[in-house]
Amino acid sequence: MLLTSLIGAGLLTFAFPDELRVDYGKLRFGTECPQPRGKTEGLHFRICDRAVEGDHLRVCGIRYGETRQIAEVWTATTTDGLHYADERLLYRLPPPDREWLAGDVVLVDDGQLLAMICDCGRPPTAGHRFHVFAGGLDGTGWTHRNEAPVYRGQDAFGLVWDAENQRLINYQTTYQQWPKRYADNMGDSIRRVLHIRTSPDGLVWTPGGSFGLSGPFLPEDQLIVPDAEDPPELEFYKFRPAQLGDFWAGCMGRYVAEPPGLPRSGTLPHGPLLDAEWWVSRDGFHWQRPFRETTDLTGVPYSFAHFFHPPLPVGDEWRWVASNQVYALRPDRMFYVESLANAEGTTPVFTPGNGELVLNVSFGSIRLNRQSHLRQGYLMAELRTAEDVPIPGFEKEKCRFLSSADTALALAWEGQVVPKEPLRLRLYFRDLRIYSLAY
């Protein structure tokens, strides 16, 4: 995907399978594992959203009291995602009839915040009741915007503000009637799936409608469900993506019910979760899943996926907070395409901005510290026209690399000047991960 909004330069990331046409061989798409950066200091709420304010970041989020009778909206500032200052309570929600369950907060335009939260329904099988609160970053003007519940539904959801289209997007977990191999707290005929709805104000949603375990159920054409490549018992537990420059990404929490007779592990009423999987989209509505078997979250707490928030841009990396720990990824090294054996692939058309082309890579034999007779990686690069015709003087034999510890390869063709016109790049490689092309 072409990343420009948060990078400030042309960057082709290989987050989507169609971003490197397979000309030969077998390619695999994968994700880099977020790296730990330390523990937060001065932060006592869950981050939901953020905005850039001059030389610092403004974060906002939600905090619950010792009982779920208390839910509050908070804000703070940070410059590095680790240390927080000016932490302030903005609004304490009125006590619910029973207890507050899941909630989310987004920053909308002109210093305004909107919080959506659900309280426990009566009975819960009829769906939990959703409420909307809104007010200013200065703590003024906060009101409960709805009288009757906005709708009733499942308590797993992720709320995002789409600034370009001036609307809220709600990634709402819902129910689908489905015969389950093993029953859980949802019974033996209901599975969790994803539904997406939008709203200008949080009060009127399209598509609308309530839903619950005992019905009603949303129409099948409004559901995003597991497919034939998934395990037959897979369910979509919770999804809260974010817009990352010119594309969207998030980690879908995945769940599979366990058979009866096993000792209960943990405190969840339905047994343990399965894992989380990176999803990507160009518009926030149509999602692709190239990383269902290659998502790497080794050592990262599940809350990274469950409470995924827009990244905190710090230096040359993006940072996220998960369970009071900070994790980071570089925007140019989040996703990759790789091949162990010989492979060839061609990029979409791009136009160099400054005549310099740099590939962010990692040779497998170096990364894994293999013996010298296993260091068989290479890269050759060939420039082609937008019509996919080789350009004389930019043949692959003139731009060659062997396995090395270098991770930023400046592409050059024996002194030739890269034309500033629409081009394609054909890559010939093996034992190599390619993360992105900066141009």
Mean pLDDT, rounded, for 18-43 = 97
**Which of 107, 175, 160 lies closest to 285 in space, CA to CA?**
160
Mean pLDDT, rounded, for 96-105 = 94
**Which of 420, 436, 410 lies closest to 351 in space, CA to CA?**
420
Higher per-residue confidence, 376 vs 151: 151
Q: Count CA within 13 A, CB hemisphere, residue 263.
A: 2
Backbone angles phi, psi at 88, to 5 degrees: -140, 140
Q: What is the pTM of this model?
A: 0.94
pLDDT band at 6 (very low <50, low <70, confident <90, very high): very low
- CB distance 170 to 212 below 8 Å: no
Mean pLDDT, rounded, for 73-102 = 96
pLDDT of residue 131: 97
pLDDT single digits (tens) 114-129: 999 999 877 767 789 9
Q: Count CA within 13 A, CB hemisphere, residue 300.
A: 28
pLDDT single digits (tens) 416-438: 999 999 999 999 999 999 999 99
* Per-chain mean pLDDT for the chain: 93
Q: Give Cβ neighbours of residue 416 (< 8 Å, ≥ 6 apart).
A: 393, 394, 398
The three-state secondary structure class of 24 is: strand
Q: Give Cβ neighbours of residue 344 (< 8 Å, ≥ 6 apart).
A: 22, 23, 24, 25, 426, 427, 428, 429
For residues 394 and 339, give the distance between their C-alpha atoms in angstroms, rounded to a whole number. Answer: 23
**What secondary structure letter does DSSP report for 7?**
T
pLDDT of residue 124: 66
pLDDT of residue 4: 41
pLDDT of 277 above 50: yes
pLDDT single digits (tens) 339-367: 999 999 999 999 998 878 999 999 988 78
For residues 172 and 303, give the distance between their C-alpha atoms in angstroms, rounded to a whole number. Answer: 17
Map out the domains of the chain with their CATH numbers: 39-329 (2.115.10), 337-438 (2.60.120)
pLDDT band at 375 (very low <50, low <70, confident <90, very high): confident
E strand or H helix at 266, and its extent? none
How far from chain centre, in Å, is Cα 9? 21
pLDDT of residue 203: 98
pLDDT of residue 365: 81
pLDDT of residue 1: 44
User: Helix, strand, coil proportions of the chain in percent (round to 5)?
Assistant: 5, 45, 50
Higher per-residue confidence, 287 vs 373: 287
How far from chain centre, in Å, is Cα 1? 14
pLDDT single digits (tens) 34-62: 999 999 999 999 999 999 999 999 999 99
Backbone angles phi, psi at 132, to 5 degrees: -125, 130
pLDDT single digits (tens) 234-275: 999 999 999 998 899 999 999 999 998 888 767 777 878 999
Task: Locate 170 and state its tokens.
Answer: 């709600």
**Which of 250, 185, 175 lies closest to 212 in space, CA to CA?**
175
pLDDT of residue 7: 45
Of 84-93, 355-364, 372-381, the least confident: 372-381
pLDDT of residue 8: 45
pLDDT single digits (tens) 135-187: 999 999 999 999 999 999 999 999 999 999 999 999 999 999 999 999 998 99
Backbone angles phi, psi at 84, to 5 degrees: -120, 145
pLDDT band at 9 (very low <50, low <70, confident <90, very high): low
